[in-house]
Chains A and B, each alone.
Chain A
Amino acid sequence: NAGVTQTPKFQVLKTGQSMTLQCAQDMNHNSMYWYRQDPGMGLRLIYYSASEGTTDKGEVPNGYNVSRLNKREFSLRLESAAPSQTSVYFCASSEFETSGIYEQYFGPGTRLTVT
């Protein structure tokens, strides 16, 4: 039981390049989330998927797109990377909230630098 896994762990991009961050969970959770963590700002929600087949914007969605590929996988895409997207990205998952309020389980993160 690996929990939430993310790839890659580290990435350096040049401005304008694109990339996809991958996330998978093996806990049979319905809900998945993407956050970014910046120093002194805590975690901010980029996008989330309450259940397979649905996605919604969070606090800071501009410059990102997501795909809920199946119940296990939720990817985050940067179409044209900008230096302002330099951050640590975390994926998380949880049970579907209509049946209760559940904690979120986090992956180890992807450290992205855009030059």
Chain B
Amino acid sequence: AQSVAQPEDQVNVAEGNPLTVKCTYSVSGNPYLFWYVQYPNRGLQFLLKYITGDNLVKGSYGFEAEFNKSQTSFHLKKPSALVSDSALYFCAVREMGSTLGRLYFGRGTQLTVWP
């Protein structure tokens, strides 16, 4: 079975500091991995995805994520956090070759960036 774990419900960071939001996954084959962001009372917005190739993936709004196959992780990072980055972040996975459209989401991590 496919699953995603986001071990931290909340991450707090000061503006200007680097941020990391953690994600680990479990699939029996090769994964496709995604990060989405949700601002209050809005739908999810796509940030970035890993399909294959370079382990460091760059996405929207200055975010990047590092795929680590040996640690089955896909942590979201940003070198310098902004107050406007405060939102709910979701990691999602699906397995290569699995049924079309079946994304499995983590429970979400609330990121708060204080001034």
Instruction: Please give the residue numbers on chain A whose beta carbons come within 8 Å of chain B beta carbons, in ascending order.
Output: 4, 31, 33, 40-45, 48, 50, 56, 58, 90, 92, 94, 96-98, 101, 103-109
Bound-state CA distance A44–B99 (Å) is 15
Residues in chain A near residue B102, CB distance under 8 A: 45, 48, 58
Instruction: Please give the residue numbers on chain B whose beta carbons come within 8 Å of chain A beta carbons, in ascending order.
Output: 4, 9, 32, 34, 36, 41-46, 49, 51, 90, 99-103, 105-108
- Across the interface, name the chain B residue whose C-beta is closest to A106: B43
Evaluate whether A43 and B101 lie within 8 angstroms (CB atoms) in the complex, with A101-B32, A101-B49, A103-B49 already known: no
Residue in B4, B46, B90, B107 whose beta carbon sits within 8 Å of that of A40 in the complex:
B107
Whether B49 contacts A98 by the Cβ 8 Å rule is no
Whether A43 contacts B90 by the Cβ 8 Å rule is yes
Whether A41 contacts B43 by the Cβ 8 Å rule is no
- Across the interface, name the chain B residue whose C-beta is closest to A107: B43
Residues in chain A near residue B45, CB distance under 8 A: 106
Whether B42 contacts A108 by the Cβ 8 Å rule is yes
Q: State the main secondary structure of chain B at its contact with A.
A: loop
- Nearest CB in chain A: distance from B60 CB, A: 11
Residues in chain B near residue A98, CB distance under 8 A: 100
Whether B44 contacts A106 by the Cβ 8 Å rule is yes
Most B CB atoms within 10 A — which of A98, A103, A104, A107?
A103
Residues in chain B near residue A58, CB distance under 8 A: 102
- Across the interface, name the chain B residue whose C-beta is closest to A32: B101
Whether A103 contacts B46 by the Cβ 8 Å rule is yes
Residue in B34, B101, B103, B107 whose beta carbon sits within 8 Å of that of A41 in the complex:
B107
The contact sample of 13 A-B pairs, CB cut-off 8 A, is: A31-B101, A40-B108, A42-B90, A45-B101, A48-B102, A50-B100, A92-B44, A97-B100, A101-B49, A105-B46, A106-B43, A107-B43, A109-B42
Whether A44 contacts B32 by the Cβ 8 Å rule is no
Bound-state CA distance A63–B87 (Å) is 31
Having A42-B106, A101-B51, one finds 12 other A-B pairs with CB under 8 Å, namely A4-B43, A33-B101, A40-B107, A42-B90, A43-B105, A45-B103, A50-B100, A56-B99, A56-B101, A92-B43, A104-B44, A105-B46
